Amino acid sequence: MKRESMQTVRQFVSMRLVMMLILAISVGGSMTSCQSQKKLAKKKAAQELAERTAQAKTDLLAIINDQGQMTLEEKEFKLNSIKRMNLEDQEVKDLIVQAEEKISAERAALERKKEEERLAREREAKDKGQYSSITNSLNAVAGARDVNAANIAIREALLQFAGEDAPVLILISQEGETKDYDEPTTIRKYLEYLKDQKKVSARIINAEYDSNGKIKLLELQN
């Protein structure tokens, strides 16, 4: 009886040892598998970071070297998207600074252009108002229905000038204060020209008046 009991105890101990061994193997395998998964995840994260960094550099260089293919808004959108990534790569940081400078310069140039266009519109509107009377007279000559009507319009237009020989200058180009004019003509010849052409292609940019309020010089620009 005692011998059978000892045998049963040995069997029980053997079974526990086997179970503990199996458990240890299982735990060790799980730990090995977990470590492998962590290594794979880390490798994948590093690869994705490298890809994002490479793409960021490509996009930044595209902004910096752009010659008009992208709009300013597209460049700003790309730049802001890259900045939100918070990449620690030093080359990316340096390229971000260059892209910001490029966009800032283009934005300033665009604002200057808008301001110049606004001022030009204001000047044009002012000129139209200031020279509306003579402009209407020129248009009346060019738009006359026949020669007789054109001649009447010419006589009426000449009443605004100091004389038939009042010079008319047509500006061709200008660089700073230097102006290049077409061959000078007189108001009589210019009105006859409008009668033949039947259209006004130049606008008034300046008029000089004498003491009687008559135009003594007219300056035009095509």
Average pLDDT per consecutive 10 residues, the chain (222 residues; last block may be shorter) = 57 65 62 73 86 93 92 93 93 94 93 86 67 91 95 96 95 83 93 94 90 92 86
The sign one gets for the Cα dihedral 146, 149, 155, 161 is negative
Q: What is the pLDDT of residue 179?
A: 82
Q: What is the pLDDT of residue 13?
A: 57
- Six-digit token pair at 213? 């309020």
Query: How far is 28 from 25, CA to CA, in rounded Å?
Result: 5
Query: How far is 80 from 63, CA to CA, in rounded Å?
Result: 12
